[in-house]
Structure 1
Amino acid sequence: MTKPAADGKPLRARGEQTRQVILETALRMFRERGYADTTMRAIAKEAGVAVGNAYYYFDSKEHLIQGFYDHMQGAHRVAAAPVLDGEREFAARLRGVLHAGIDVNAPYHSFAATFFKTAAEPTSPLSPFSRQSSPARDASIGIFRDVMEGSTAKIDPELRVHLPELLWLAWMGVTLFWVYDSSPEQRRTRRLIDGVVPLIDRLVGLSRLRVLRPALRQVLELLDNVRRDD
Structure 2
Amino acid sequence: MDSKSAQTKALVLDTALGMFRSKGFAKTTMRAIAEEAGISVGSAYYYYSSKDELVLELYRESVAEQGMAASATLEHVKGFDDRLKAALNAGIDAMTPYHGFGGAFISSALPPQSVLNPFGGASTEAREDAVGIFREVIKGTKVPHFLRPQLPELLWLVYMGVVLFWVYDSSENQRRTRILIDGGAPLIAKLVALSRLPVVKPMIEEALTLKIRVQT
Q: Does TM-score exceed 0.5, indicating one fold? A: yes
Counterpart Cα distance in 2 of 1:14 and 1:118: 28
* Match of residue 25 from structure 2: 35
* Match of residue 184 from structure 1: 172
- 139-148 or 82-91, which moves further after superposition? 82-91
> 2:55·2:109 contact (CA, 8 Å) conserved in 1?
no
Counterpart Cα distance in 2 of 1:145 and 1:121: 23
> 1:128·1:137 contact (CA, 8 Å) conserved in 2?
no
Unaligned ranges ≥5, structure 2: none
Counterpart Cα distance in 1 of 2:123 and 2:109: 11
Is 1:67 paired with 2:83? Answer: no
Which runs of structure 2 are paired with 1:48-63 in the superposition (5 Å)?
48-63=38-53
Please tell me the residue identity of whatever aligns with 2:93: D
SS of the counterpart of 1:157?
Answer: coil
* Match of residue 156 from structure 1: 144
> 2:63·2:130 contact (CA, 8 Å) conserved in 1?
yes
Counterpart Cα distance in 2 of 1:198 and 1:82: 21
Say what the alpha-carbon RMSD is for the aligned residues: 2.4
State the identity as a percent: 47
Is 1:46 paired with 2:36? Answer: yes
Instruction: Report the structure number with the largest CA radius of gyration.
Output: 1
Tell me the alpha carbon deviations over residues 109-160 of structure 1, each in whole angstroms, 9 at most, x when there is no partner: 112135446668747x8999661011111111011111112x3x22222211
* Match of residue 100 from structure 1: 90
> 1:126·1:133 contact (CA, 8 Å) conserved in 2?
no
Tell me the alpha carbon deviations over residues 85-111 of structure 1, each in whole angstroms, 9 at most, x when there is no partner: 221221111111111111111122112
**Alpha carbons of structure 1 residues 117 and 12: separation in structure 2 relative to 1, 3 Å:** closer
* Match of residue 68 from structure 2: 78
Counterpart Cα distance in 2 of 1:59 and 1:73: 21
**Alpha carbons of structure 1 residues 46 and 126: separation in structure 2 relative to 1, 3 Å:** farther
> 2:56·2:108 contact (CA, 8 Å) conserved in 1?
no
Asked which structure has the greater RCO (Cα within 8 Å, sep 6+), the reply is 2
Which runs of structure 2 are paired with 1:74-153 in the superposition (5 Å)?
74-116=64-106, 122=112, 131-149=121-139, 151=140, 153=141
Match of 2:182 among 194, 219, 230: 194
> 1:94·1:197 contact (CA, 8 Å) conserved in 2?
yes
> Paired residues, what number?
215
- 165-174 or 17-26, which moves further after superposition? 17-26
Is 1:214 paired with 2:202? Answer: yes
Counterpart Cα distance in 2 of 1:127 and 1:69: 18
SS of the counterpart of 2:149?
Answer: helix
> 1:99·1:193 contact (CA, 8 Å) conserved in 2?
yes
> 2:103·2:167 contact (CA, 8 Å) conserved in 1?
yes
> 2:70·2:86 contact (CA, 8 Å) conserved in 1?
yes
Counterpart Cα distance in 2 of 1:106 and 1:128: 26
Please tell me the residue identity of whatever aligns with 2:166: W
Deviation at 1:17, TM superposition (A): 2.2
> 1:112·1:179 contact (CA, 8 Å) conserved in 2?
yes
* Match of residue 6 from structure 1: none
Please tell me the residue identity of whatever aligns with 2:160: M
* Match of residue 16 from structure 1: 6
Deviation at 1:212, TM superposition (A): 1.3
Is 1:166 paired with 2:154? Answer: yes
Counterpart Cα distance in 2 of 1:214 and 1:136: 32
Unaligned ranges ≥5, structure 1: 1-10
Per the normalisation by structure 1, the TM-score is: 0.84
Counterpart Cα distance in 1 of 2:115 and 2:33: 18
